[in-house]
Copies of this chain bind each other. A is one copy, B any other.
């Protein structure tokens, strides 16, 4: 145990989430979050670039995606790799936590500032996937389209999964989306 209470970052995240639920995003100020976490405003901004970032898990997903694309054997089919990656995201972040994920999503969708950051996070992922696919031999146009498509599938699948009465595993929903989108010649 050091001089400070541990897990400052986690405490800030939890304090922020609590306050957002209690008062809404806009009404919650950074000093309030810091106070509830027993820290100073300055410390908040050392951990998060801005108030919105406390709501997102940094670069975790893009970094995992980069690792996956770099480390998977070169002979694995890119589309299969992406499907596996999305299933992995589900296992690590979604499956078995529907209510938690749903609550978080609702807060994001209700707040334009958070929707905006969410959209940016998706774009960040596209920008990691694209060069990763290129490095695996996919041509530039195909890599761009496949990167965008995968993130779109992640997005649509998340929403579908949250509303799914059958409570499927997330990876099954992403697979269904990919299938619907790519395996049909008349997808409409």
Contact = CB atoms under 8 A, between A and B. Distances in A.
Contacts of A183: 185
A124 B149 CA distance: 17
A180 interface: yes
A116 interface: yes
A113 to B, nearest CB: 10
A188 interface: yes
Nearest to A176: B141
Contact of A149 (B112, B123, B149): B149
Nearest to A152: B148
B152 A156 contact: no
Contacts of A123: 115, 119
B138 A188 contact: yes
Contact of A77 (B117, B120, B149, B188): B188
Contacts of A148: 152, 155-156
Oligomeric state, in copies: 2
A181 interface: yes
Nearest to A112: B120
A177 B141 contact: yes
Given A185-B183, A188-B79, A144 B159 contact: yes
Nearest to A116: B120
Interface string A113-143: 0011101101100000000000000100110
Contacts of A144: 156, 159-160
Contact of A152 (B78, B120, B149): B149
16 contacts: A78-B188, A79-B187, A115-B120, A116-B119, A119-B122, A138-B188, A141-B176, A142-B188, A144-B156, A144-B159, A145-B177, A145-B180, A145-B187, A148-B152, A148-B156, A152-B152
